[in-house]
C-alpha cells in the first residue's frame, strides 16, 4: 500500500511562478523525501527532511514538514520550463520490521515558457 499521497495530481503554472506541492502520509516516519522523475524512468532525489526537522532549503527548493498533521510541502520558487516533471514524496515507516521506502502517486508539474 502507498503511504504518501500528493496533491494536486497535476499542476500547470507559468515560468517564473512558484509551485507548491503537498504530501500527506498515514503512519509515523523517520524521514520524508521528495523525488523528481522525467520521462517515466529513474527518479532523482531532491531533498530529505527528518522527522525532527520542520523546514529545509536546497537552492530553489523549500520543504516543510508538519508531523502533527502528517503532511509535507515542496515549494519550487521562480519555476523554469526545465522543472516540468513528475514529483513524488516518499516516506519510511518508523515501525520496526515494516520500515521501508514507499512512494505516493506523484504530481505532474507543467511549467509553461
Partner 1 sequence: GAGVSQSPSNKVTEKGKDVELRCDPISGHTALYWYRQSLGQGLEFLIYFQGNSAPDKSGLPSDRFSAERTGGSVSTLTIQRTQQEDSAVYLCASSLLGPLVGGTEAFFGQGTRLTVV
- Site for partner 1, rule CB under 8 A: 2, 30-31, 33, 35, 40-45, 48, 88, 90, 92-93, 96-106
CB-side neighbour CA atoms (13 Å) of 103: 12
Name the residue nearer to partner 1 (CB basis): 14 or 41.
Answer: 41
**Cα gap 88→99, rounded to integer Å:** 18
Name the residue nearer to partner 1 (CB basis): 83 or 104.
Answer: 104
The minimum distance between CB 16 and partner 1, in angstroms, equals 27
DSSP characters over 26-63 = SS--SEEEEEEESTTS-EEEEEEEETT-SEEEETTEEE
The minimum distance between CB 84 and partner 1, in angstroms, equals 15
The minimum distance between CB 61 and partner 1, in angstroms, equals 14
Q: How far is CA 22 from the centre of its chain?
A: 7
Name the residue nearer to partner 1 (CB basis): 14 or 97.
Answer: 97
Amino acid at each position: 500500500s502507498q503511504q504518501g499521497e500528493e496533491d494536486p495530481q497535476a499542476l500547470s503554472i507559468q515560468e517564473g511562478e512558484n509551485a507548491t506541492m503537498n504530501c500527506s502520509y498515514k503512519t509515523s516516519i523517520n524521514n520524508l523525501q521528495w523525488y523528481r522523475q522525467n520521462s517515466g524512468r529513474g527518479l532523482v532525489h531532491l531533498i530529505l527532511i527528518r522527522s525532527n526537522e520542520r523546514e529545509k532549503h536546497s537552492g530553489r527548493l523549500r520543504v516543510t514538514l508538519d508531523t502533527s498533521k502528517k503532511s509535507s510541502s515542496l515549494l519550487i520558487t521562480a519555476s523554469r520550463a526545465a522543472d516540468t516533471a513528475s514529483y513524488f514524496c516518499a516516506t519510511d515507516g518508523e515501525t520496526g520490521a515494516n520500515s521501508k521506502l514507499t512512494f505516493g502517486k506523484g504530481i505532474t508539474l507543467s511549467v509553461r515558457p
